[in-house]
Amino acid sequence: MTGYCEIALPVPLDRTFTYALRLGQIVQRGMRVVVPFRNEKLIGVVTAVMVDPPADVEVKSLEAVLDDEPLLSEQLLALAEWMAGYYLAPLGEVLRGMLPLSAEVRRTVYYRITDLGRDVLAKQLEATEEEWHREACGDDEDSNIPKSKPNAKRRGKLSLDEQNLEIRVLRRLAEGEAIKVSTLRTATAATLQILAGMLRKKWIARETSAVERDARRTERFAVLVEEARLPKLTKNQEAILAELASAGGELPLAELRKKELSSSTLQTLVRHGLVRIDERMAAFRMGGLRPTAEPFKLNAQQMDALASIVTALGKFKPFLLFGVTGSGKTAVYLEAMKRVLERGLSSILLVPEIGLTPQTVGLLDAAFGQHVALLHSALTPEERSEQWRRIRRGEARIVVGTRSAIFAPAKNLGLILVDEEHDQSYKQEETPRYNARDVAVMRAKLASAVVVMGSATPSLESWQNSVQGKYERIEICDRVMNRPLPEVELIDMRREFQESGREDLFSRSLIEQTKAALDRGEQALILLNRRGYSFAVFCRACGTKLECDNCAIALTHHKSMDGAEIAREGQRLECHYCGMRKTVPARCPKCDSEHMYFLGAGSQQGEERLSEIFPMARIGRMDRDTVRGRYDLERLLARLHAGEINLLVGTQMIAKGHDIHGVTLVGVVGCDHALSMPDFRAAERVFQLMTQVSGRAGRGNLPGRVVVQTYYPDHYAIVAATTHDYKSFAERELKYRRWMHYPPFGVLANVLVQSPKLEEAAGWSSMLGKHLIESLAGEPVRVLGPCTAPIARIKNVYRFHMILKAASRKALNEALKNMMAYADQAGVPRRNMIVDVDALRLM
């Protein structure tokens, strides 16, 4: 008997879809299937199985069932359904994020010509024949017969070459069946942009196929055959055999290629039976920095914290672990995970950014070895699939990763740890826009597990939950081994300018103390929280600011690394939102003035200035421009730990949990500019960043010192950070939040309406704003806006937003659901509207 099932698909639609089962197909909730959807073959997840068909609806059949058993447990499915309701995200897109198994399915894109495309091609051929006829008849320019102008209607923004490419694509597709995109591009030289444009004009249609593939990673080895008789060998053959012998008789082929040994020579040795090629499962490199010091015993406060966590195992219990920087929270995590492992349970440790915490990964690898699995976006799709499968089979009971690791299919989950729970990286900035910290609490509740959120600067939402008793607060007030917190010196940069008469990047005190630390053989960190060399370029004559062509944002100047002293023509301007790059113009593009002014300083300029002041220092830089690859940061931190670098300058990356015992001085430069941002969380973020980077100093045997340069020395966030006084900061900031009904004393959502057409985005946002104001009259929900977003255009998409504030979660959720239903009726596409519940970024 044929059955039916409901499938959640990764499309921006708030519904599931009904499909019929083919003969012999068996499905259960949580299994993956391949289904036809429009012209696509999509992978969905079964959410329900039914016997009776839906009334008056024609249904399609499943293409294939990918799994023999459900991949998602009922617990994870319940979590996905909660997330879809809480964050108002399509269930299919939530489930897609839970299953990092894209490597196990090969997706192929095809294009075919449409009827409209055939009409366009036919008209083009007619126009071409008419042109040939005139030429054959000898018609000249004075002929009364008007010449045909092929493509005149569509010249628009396309060049003649691009128009010819379009016709070439149509001709190729008109020859027969749908063609794979790679084959089509090779045959016609068409770019993806050309194909996308033709797709928008509906001249061609896109189709996809999805089939299973083997995602197992393998590695090929060259193995020395010891029993073989050696004939006369060439020098190259002898070199390969010598390499294999020195390596113990075998080497990966990749290593041989690195040594520039000939692959053809290797094949000759294989034919002669001197070497064989073995294919094996590839080993996974955990990475991380191995601990150099012996683990120390937990102190009394750490033991109390551990006892509280372990005692609660077996039931749902949320903790806020509030410990000053350097108090040994990571040591408590490790000991707690050991106790959980001994009970046959699993643990998940979330970290904000896996690349920024190689020490944590190294500690886990040293402590738990093969019991550890790693999940983060820097892994290849094959590696992610492999690690996910290890977790599901129960081979790895310790999971460490970034926010998506919260969905790991851990067996018998007993403990979830959220390190640096305040970090914004836990909030996903694409659908589904979840906060992994909050999802961790819900998952722990569903699994009857303990969840621990740790930080020296907790988010005010978590702090207020601990004040109200929703979370149990554990405090560690002292650093390990009774090391003192660093002393903090405030430098008023207004007075510095008055006394020195110069607007220098680094104050006199910071330079003097950095020199003293380096002379003593110690290390120093300088925080300069902006990338690039200068963060804006202006014309002194007319005031024009050089902006990105695609975004309403100033271009950042990145100086070339050729030793040039002053920014000059030809160097790089880059947009940090869309990645667009252009060279620095010699003259202003608006008034043709040659007087271009480079405003502000980034980490690149900081590195240059420090090398001028301290020519003998071993200087390194840590930002997104120097740390790009998977192991770049690991190598940089290894050099810092080894003392190869004694002065490091960088962005907020240097504040992320690094434990370098040789650092005794930290300088904070330009951190307070964020206080002028249009964001109610600005003071909280400045306090957190200052406190976290200050905590990098004095973590070894020598005391630390921090020098903070600021133009706001009296601001309460700056003052509290200098005394490491989180509680006084929280008390004052919470008072302001209570007055203004901002979180944690209210809930909010940011609704962003966007479109490549300005009039569409403006019209839709105005319509939705008017509907919200009218429908919420008398309701406990306040609407701010709509108005232009602080960054009005990103990647040529215009942006308008409105903020909804409410006293209760239920009222906000109902208002947003009502708005989304109205938008659907009014024809506002779902993909053009972003609903960000509990938004952290309002830009």
Tokens 């001085």 correspond to what residue? Answer: 665
The mean per-residue pLDDT over the stretch 582-607 comes to 89
What are the residues whose beta carbons fall under 8 Å from the beta carbon of 177, sequence distance 6 or more? 112
Task: Assign 454 to helix, strand or coil.
Answer: strand
Whole-number Å distance between alpha carbons of 154 and 172: 20
User: In this model, does residue 325 exceed pLDDT 50?
Assistant: yes
The predicted pLDDT at position 153 comes to 45
The predicted pLDDT at position 657 comes to 75
Helices (H), 626-681: 632-641
Residues paired with residue 279 on neighbouring β-strands, in sequence order: 220
Whole-number Å distance between alpha carbons of 739 and 145: 79
The mean per-residue pLDDT over the stretch 66-77 comes to 93
The predicted pLDDT at position 131 comes to 64
Tokens 């039976």 correspond to what residue? Answer: 273
Q: Lowest mean pLDDT: which of 376-385, 392-401, 765-774, 795-804? A: 376-385
User: In this model, does residue 154 exceed pLDDT 60?
Assistant: no
Whole-number Å distance between alpha carbons of 358 and 292: 13
| pLDDT tier for residue 612 given thresholds of 50, 70 and 90 | very high
- Beta carbons of 318 and 471 less than 8 angstroms apart: yes
The mean per-residue pLDDT over the stretch 633-656 comes to 89
User: In this model, does residue 264 exceed pLDDT 50?
Assistant: yes
What are the residues whose beta carbons fall under 8 Å from the beta carbon of 743, sequence distance 6 or more? 460, 461, 737, 838
| pLDDT tier for residue 228 given thresholds of 50, 70 and 90 | low
| pLDDT tier for residue 404 given thresholds of 50, 70 and 90 | very high
The mean per-residue pLDDT over the stretch 530-543 comes to 90
For helices 160-173 and 115-137, give the axis angle rounded to 10 degrees: 120
Whole-number Å distance between alpha carbons of 465 and 463: 5
The predicted pLDDT at position 297 comes to 87
Residues 720-777 have pLDDT tens digits of 999 999 999 999 999 999 999 999 999 999 999 999 999 999 999 999 999 999 998 8
User: In this model, does residue 155 exceed pLDDT 60?
Assistant: no
User: In this model, does residue 784 exceed pLDDT 90?
Assistant: yes
The predicted pLDDT at position 681 comes to 93
Residue 136: both structure tokens together: 């054959």
Whole-number Å distance between alpha carbons of 665 and 30: 53
The mean per-residue pLDDT over the stretch 687-706 comes to 92
Q: Checking phi first, is residue 803 left (phi over 0); if not, alpha (psi -120 to 50) or beta?
A: beta
The mean per-residue pLDDT over the stretch 61-82 comes to 93
Rg (CA), the chain: 31
Element (DSSP H or E) covering residue 187: helix 181-188
Please tell me whether the overall predicted TM-score, pTM, comes out greater than 0.95 for this model: no
For helices 263-271 and 235-246, give the axis angle rounded to 10 degrees: 80
The predicted pLDDT at position 257 comes to 82
The predicted pLDDT at position 356 comes to 63
User: In this model, does residue 568 exceed pLDDT 50?
Assistant: no
At 677, phi and psi to the nearest 5? -75, 145
Residues 73-112 have pLDDT tens digits of 999 999 999 999 999 999 999 999 999 887 778 888 899 9
More confident residue, 655 or 322: 322
Q: Lowest mean pLDDT: which of 325-339, 347-361, 412-426? A: 347-361
The predicted pLDDT at position 523 comes to 95
Residue 520: both structure tokens together: 């003593």
User: In this model, does residue 564 exceed pLDDT 70?
Assistant: no
| pLDDT tier for residue 292 given thresholds of 50, 70 and 90 | low
The predicted pLDDT at position 1 comes to 47
- Beta carbons of 348 and 371 less than 8 angstroms apart: no
Residue 318: both structure tokens together: 């949320």
Question: DSSP string spanning 148-178?
Answer: P-TTGGG-TT--HHHHHHHHHHHHHHTTSS-
Percent pLDDT > 90 in the chain is 56
Tokens 């003071």 correspond to what residue? Answer: 683
Tokens 């192929």 correspond to what residue? Answer: 108
User: In this model, does residue 562 exceed pLDDT 80?
Assistant: no
Residues 135-145 have pLDDT tens digits of 556 554 444 43
| pLDDT tier for residue 283 given thresholds of 50, 70 and 90 | confident
The predicted pLDDT at position 130 comes to 65
The total number of residues shown for the chain amounts to 843
What are the residues whose beta carbons fall under 8 Å from the beta carbon of 573, sequence distance 6 or more? 537, 546, 555, 556, 557, 558, 581, 582, 583, 584
Residue type, 395: E
Nearest to 294 by CA among 481, 520, 485: 481
